[in-house]
Amino acid sequence: MRFYNTLSGKREEFKPLHSGRVGLYVCGPTVYDYDHLGHARTYLTFDLLNRYLRFKGLRVEYVQNITDVGHLVDDRESGVDKILKKAQELNQTMAEVARYFEAEHLQDLESLNILLPSKMPRASEHVQDIIAFIEKLVAKGFAYKTERGNVYFSVAKKTDYGKLSHRGIAEIITGTRIEPAKDKRSPADFALWKAAPLGAKEMVWDSPWGKGFPGWHIECSVMSQKYLGETFDIHGSAVEHIFPHHENEIAQAEAVTGQPLARFWLHGGMLTIDGRKMSKSLHNSVLIRQALKDYSANEIRLAFFLTPYRRPFDYTKAVMSQGIALRKKIFLALAGELAAETDSAIWQEIIEALDDDLDTPRALVAWGENVSRLNREDNDKLCQIFGLKLKRLSEDKTAQGLASDREEARARGDYLTADNRKSELAQRGFEVIDQGEKTIYLSR
């Protein structure tokens, strides 16, 4: 297997650090709202990686954090705390908001047939670990406390800072969007610990630097190492996190251990909606749950995987219809006769494509064209890798009732009722295809 490693800027042969198992860390959500399709793309990409590594016989320790301490949720180090803002809007505590959206997040992952990570640690339950880690950074001279009770990482002390995003300190300072806080030594320094705002009651902790809360970057360095070791195999997320988030994760972790944090850094491309960046001001965000009203999880997965994971993905009707068409093609072929023996040249083509930095479009085209030339077992393996779930009418009593209702309605010429039943069947995950006398209920 070869993966494109952002750190080296090259495709590299992947061999796990410890034979037989892989440590994988992916930055999780800040739980103050529902997941949108940008989140979906990241989680689907790394779900595919997780599934493919398992297919290869590797045990995957997959850790994804839950950012529930709010506060520093983006590159800016000031501004509105998003969890607090939501809590005020809903007249709830911050903890209630965080737990609610965490549960909804898990629900969204499951509805896309994403395998849950093996561990999903919450930042709020690791504050003591984070404090201990910051103390080490202070002791080693990489961090400093200010009069205001903030603790910053001193970027100038880390001579290889910028190695992931491939830029120098001067460039970072001039190009930075970070508002320079008045108590920082350099505008490029970033917060490890923030003093609690006056009157803050929730989500603040005692620390050697006074009451406060941890920065966002530090939680990932601490929790990834706690569960996967000082150096682990793969760190993944979306391309917009390369700088500053991942650059800072590396700086903090490596300042303490002197060892590389992760060996491979994989980044998924952006997601746009009809050619435009998703943004609050454009009101064009699409939530996962909204997309699932128009497309099945299988269709979303296939449409997304028809674009290489590193490329930008544009969510349009045309692109999604390719997902629908491919789902139909594969599932119709699976419902028909399959070869007793797999054509090894086709199998090899699919595996070679996936081995080559997860070239999913190439693999899917090869599979879609040749489903019936693979045997049942190998087709099942591919369904597992791509996370496709087939429903059978025989397993759904309600759908069976709808199907016989529809047939009766058709027989008596009541086409309005027949059409209604057809759309109800679609809602339950079945596409109705009439082929002359025969009707096929195909999984969506």
- Minimum CB separation of residue 305 from Zn ion in Å reads 24
Toward Zn ion, which CB reaches closer, 27 or 120? 27
Q: Least distance in Å: CB of 27 to Zn ion?
A: 3
Tell me which DSSP letter residue 287 carries.
Answer: B
CB of 442 to Zn ion, least distance (A): 40
Distance CA 228, CA 213 (A): 24
Under rule CB under 5 A, residue 228 binds Zn ion: no
Least spacing, CB of residue 224 vs Zn ion, in Å: 8
User: Which residue spans within 198-258 are E strands per DSSP?
Assistant: 212-214, 232-238
Q: Segment contacting Zn ion (CB under 5 A): 22-30, 83-91, 401-409, 417-425?
A: 22-30
* Of residues 112-151, those binding Zn ion (CB under 5 A): none
Stretch that binds Zn ion, among 36-44, 174-182, 219-227, 252-260 (CB under 5 A): 219-227
Question: Least CB distance from residue 117 to Zn ion, whole Å?
Answer: 13
Q: Which is nearer to Zn ion, 37 or 220 (CB)?
A: 220
- Structure letter (DSSP) for residue 124: G
Looking at the Cβ atoms of 216 and 386, the one nearer to Zn ion is 216
In angstroms, the CA 184 to CA 269 distance is 32
**Cα-to-chain-centroid distance, residue 128:** 27
Q: Are 309 and 269 in contact (CB under 8 A)?
A: yes
Nearer to Zn ion, 236 or 323 (CB): 236
Question: Contact 190/248 with Cβ under 8 angstroms?
Answer: yes
Nearest approach in angstroms of CB 191 to Zn ion is: 15
* Largest interatomic CA distance in the chain: 83
Report the residue count for the chain.
444
Contact 405, 421 (CB under 8 A): yes
DSSP 30-45: BSSS--BHHHHHHHHH
Angle between helices 127-139 and 247-257 (to 10 degrees): 70
| Local structure of 159: helix, strand or coil | coil
Query: Which member of 220, 266, 320, 324 binds Zn ion (CB under 5 A)?
Result: 220
**Is the CB of 67 or the CB of 307 nearer to Zn ion?**
67
Nearer to Zn ion, 220 or 251 (CB): 220
- Scanning residues 279 to 308, which ones bind Zn ion (CB under 5 A)? none
In whole angstroms, the minimum distance from the beta carbon of 245 to Zn ion comes to 5
**154 or 248, CB closer to Zn ion?**
248
Judged by CB under 5 A, the number of residues near Zn ion is: 2
Rule CB under 5 A: choose which of 1, 24, 27, 138 binds Zn ion: 27
Are residues 331 and 367 in contact, defined by beta-carbon separation less than 8 angstroms? Answer: no
**Cis amide leading into 244 (omega within 30):** yes
Give the shortest CB-130-to-Zn ion separation in angstroms. Answer: 13
- CA torsion sign, 43 to 44 to 48 to 51? positive
Contacting positions for Zn ion (CB under 5 A): 27, 220
